[in-house]
Amino acid sequence: MSYFSHIVLGFVMAFLSLTPPGMLNMTAVRTAIEKNRNEGIWFALGAALVVIPQAFIALVFARFFGENPHIVERLKLGGIFVLFLLSVVFFIQARKKFKGEGAKRKGKSFWTGMLMSVMNMLAIPFYLVLSSVLENKGLLNTEQPFINLFVSGVFLGAFTLFFVYVQFARVIQKRAQFIARNINYILSALFLVLAILTLFKLLK
């Protein structure tokens, strides 16, 4: 496995995982609209930087779980509950309307981006699961310097995605309500199906 492939892998994983409208990218859009493009970019940088320790922690634990598969078995029941919970959360989000307008306030967007990214509790579990799968398939090496290269790719992918949202903020604002409503319904259904399949496997 080459060094470059790990950077690309991290980039693709981060970019695709953040593509659906969510808390971070929609806030980046709102920041660019309410303040200005530069503030949106500062928000994007702050949010992307937090992804670095999140992905790093996930890769370290991915190796640990890979060496202790019995722990993964014990976590399956808890995982089912989380999947059902996520299904409900996204369904509730789908019932809400995204508002692109709001009070125009000045603030330090960089720190706001970092804080909101820290609040993204799904980041570490996401990278944990996907990195475990990629490692089992021989696509990811969870040793140094590959971890650092992968994490670097994750940062670049996250920042690029947020930057794209900022660049097209005005266009996204007009369509955000339609996109967010439908993507949340899709995610809700997806998590529900995963929960049912996981429960079925556990009961077999």
What pLDDT does 100 receive? 47
Give dist(CA 119, CA 115) in Å, integer: 6
- Mean pLDDT highest for which of 24-28, 115-119, 124-128, 165-169? 165-169
Give the Cα separation of 51 and 125 in Å (integer): 12
Q: Which two tokens stand for residue 149?
A: 């290269």
Rounded mean pLDDT, 76-81: 64
pLDDT of residue 86: 64
Domain that holds residue 21: 3-203
Q: What's at 173, amino acid-wise?
A: Q
pLDDT for the residue 185 = 72
Most confident of 52-56, 86-90, 117-121: 52-56
| pLDDT of res. 199 | 74
Residue type, 132: S
pLDDT of the residue at 187 = 63
- Whether pLDDT at 93 is above 80: no
User: Looking at residues 118-124, what average pLDDT do you find?
Assistant: 73
Q: Which of residues 158 and 78 earns the better pLDDT score? A: 158
pLDDT in tens, 157-172: 999 999 999 998 877 7
pLDDT at 104: 47
pTM over 0.75: no
Instruction: Determine the Cα–Cα distance for residues 22 and 25; give it in Å rounded to an integer.
Output: 6
The number of domains in the chain is 1
Residue 151 contacts residue 10 (beta carbons within 8 Å)? yes
